């Protein structure tokens, strides 16, 4: 299977509702590509997802009366247009011919002529002008996302901030590792990764974080030996704010895939107890497997509904409540989020509030409750925190809530630290 074919299959899977990282990983394993071809497939898949709205803005006027394209043909055409407009290292003739060949080998082979004509026209005429108005509709084309998302970000943060945020989403999201201090050091892990063809550098302000700059770590010997786990820098900063210490009792609600659970257990030097809960039994099982790989015997993981109080759990010194959210902060890593239908953020906020109120019942006097999300919408962040504090006078805010915008070493993230009086 070629790199372009693997990218096309992944894009079609995402179009059907799959997550980009899982779809692409599945196709890369299936295709058994060379490292260079795997890079091309990755660049094409995420490049098209990043710019999908803009690509369709270019494609649709050229279609005119040619009818509706199948998902396979449209995604192939998007790939061809993306290569012509955004990939300088791909010669135009290769972008056109490889895309046409891709369509001819599909079930929609008859569309090859149409694809050839459209791409050659774009090759002659070049990139059309994009709308430049300071409106949600125009920004949705330039920043390649749904108009409703632009409108909500503009309402929350103003036009300039919304544009900066959405433009920054085109930048690649780095892979950040959390060093397992129970088994190695950052310097030793860098050497171990280098021996396997991967390089990593430090992350400012996070002494146990390494950002991967070259190569891969999935399935590496360092991974199998439990020398690290993958965790975004923003998530690691949230864990630092928890201030979990050796011997404490810590509860991590909505814990999957487990990165925060593992970091908290490491901060506690694998003493005390870390209780992880997630609604999905399968995902709770993944947390248990990860803890075993890292040698974290103080972790127990079970499936449970975070919105339903369980008095058998008892009280905890620290409770981390990382609630389900819209995921807007993750658009660099999962660009398909930009194209989801509009949702009722206030209704989601009520669900988040219910989970947070339940989480508060587990906090011991003098203990800390940390509310966190990977979104940037006020209805899910500031509004939920304010409503909780207004309804629970037994808690007080410790410092100002932190909102990190996507960029640099971390994705978008929000957290607020509260203390039980």
100-144 pLDDT, tens per residue?
Answer: 999 999 899 999 999 999 999 999 999 999 999 999 999 999 999
The model's confidence at residue 219, banded by pLDDT at 50, 70 and 90, is confident
Kind of pairing between the strands at 402-404 and 395-397? unpaired
Structure tokens at 309: 């109080």
Q: What is the overall mean pLDDT for the chain?
A: 94
Task: Single out the residue of 121, 144, 102 nearest to residue 64, CA to CA.
Answer: 121
Phi-psi region of 18 (alpha: psi -120 to 50; beta: other; left: phi over 0): beta
Residue with tokens 């109120």: 357
Domains and CATH numbers, the chain: 3-125 (1.10.940.10), 140-168 (no CATH), 176-420 (3.40.50.150)
User: What pLDDT is recorded for position 216?
Assistant: 84
CB 377 within 8 A of CB 303: no
Nearest to 212, CA basis, from 228, 197, 221, 201: 201
Indicate if the pLDDT at residue 335 is higher than 80.
Answer: yes
Q: Which of 321, 341, 337 is nearest to 384 (CA)?
A: 321
**How does strand 249-253 pair with strand 363-373?**
unpaired
Using CA atoms, how far apart are residues 104 and 94, in angstroms rounded to an integer?
A: 15
Note the pLDDT of residue 64. Answer: 81
1 falls in which pLDDT band (50, 70, 90)? low
Structure confidence at residue 346 (pLDDT) = 85
191 vs 203: CA distance, rounded Å: 16
Beta strand 413-420 with 363-373: parallel, antiparallel or unpaired?
antiparallel
* Alpha carbon distance 93, 278 (integer Å): 50
- Three-class SS state of 105: coil
- Closest among 59, 48, 61 to 12, alpha carbons compared: 48
142 half-sphere exposure, CB direction, 13 A CA radius: 19
- Please report, rounded to a whole number, the percentage of residues in the chain having pLDDT higher than 90: 88
Q: Which pLDDT belongs to residue 278?
A: 95
The confidence score (pLDDT) of residue 18 equals 87
- Residue 420, phi-psi category: left (phi > 0), alpha (psi -120 to 50), beta (remainder): beta
Confidence of residue 410 (pLDDT cuts 50, 70, 90): confident
For 236-292, the pLDDT digits (tens) are 999 999 999 999 999 999 999 999 999 999 999 999 999 999 999 999 999 999 999
16-64 pLDDT per residue, tens: 988 998 999 999 999 989 989 999 999 999 999 999 999 999 999 999 8
Contacts of 344 (CB under 8 A, 6+ apart): none
Cis peptide upstream of residue 257 (ω within 30 degrees of 0): yes
Catalytic residues: 374
pLDDT of residue 389: 98
Decide if 269 contacts 247 (C-beta within 8 A).
Answer: no
pLDDT of 298 > 80? The answer is yes
Question: What pLDDT is recorded for position 363?
Answer: 98
Query: What per-residue confidence (pLDDT) applies to 345?
Result: 85
């Amino acid at each position: 299977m070629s790199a372009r074919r693997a990218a096309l299959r992944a894009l079609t899977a995402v179009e059907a509702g799959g997550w980009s990282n899982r779809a692409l990983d599945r196709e890369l394993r299936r295709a058994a590509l060379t490292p260079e071809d795997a890079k091309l497939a990755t660049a094409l898949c995420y490049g098209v997802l990043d710019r999908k709205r803009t690509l369709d803005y270019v494609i649709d006027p050229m279609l005119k009366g040619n009818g509706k394209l199948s998902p396979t043909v449209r995604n192939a055409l998007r790939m061809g247009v993306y290569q012509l407009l955004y990939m300088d290292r791909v010669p135009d003739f290769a972008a056109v011919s490889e895309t046409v060949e891709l369509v001819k080998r599909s079930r929609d082979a008859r569309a090859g002529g149409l694809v050839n004509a459209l791409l050659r026209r774009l090759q002659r005429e070049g990139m059309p002008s994009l709308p430049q108005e300071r409106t949600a509709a125009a920004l949705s084309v330039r920043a390649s996302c749904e108009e409703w998302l632009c409108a909500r970000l503009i309402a929350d943060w103003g036009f300039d901030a919304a544009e900066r945020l959405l433009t920054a989403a085109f930048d690649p999201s780095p892979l950040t590792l959390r060093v397992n201090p129970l088994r190695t050091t950052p310097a030793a892990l860098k050497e171990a990764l280098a021996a396997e063809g991967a390089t990593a550098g430090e992350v400012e302000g996070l002494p146990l974080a390494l950002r991967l700059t070259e190569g891969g770590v999935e399935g590496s010997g360092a991974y199998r030996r439990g020398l690290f786990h993958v965790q975004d820098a923003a998530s690691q900063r949230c864990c630092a704010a928890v201030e979990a210490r050796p011997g404490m009792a810590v509860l991590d609600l909505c814990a999957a895939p487990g990165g925060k659970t593992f970091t908290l257990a490491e901060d506690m030097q694998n003493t005390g107890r870390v209780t992880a809960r997630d609604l999905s039994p399968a995902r709770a099982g993944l947390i248990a497997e990860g803890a075993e790989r890292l040698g974290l015997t103080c972790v127990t993981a079970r499936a449970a509904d975070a919105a339903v109080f369980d008095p058998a759990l008892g009280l905890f010194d620290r409770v981390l409540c990382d609630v389900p959210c819209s995921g807007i902060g993750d658009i660099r890593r999962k660009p398909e989020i930009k194209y989801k239908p509009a949702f009722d953020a206030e209704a989601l906020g009520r669900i988040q509030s219910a989970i947070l109120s339940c989480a508060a019942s587990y906090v011991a006097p003098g203990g800390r409750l940390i509310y966190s999300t990977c979104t940037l919408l006020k209805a899910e962040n500031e509004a939920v925190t304010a409503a909780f504090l207004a309804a629970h006078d037994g808690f007080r805010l410790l410092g100002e809530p932190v909102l990190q915008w996507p960029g640099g070493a971390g994705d978008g993230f929000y957290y607020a630290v509260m203390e039980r009086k």
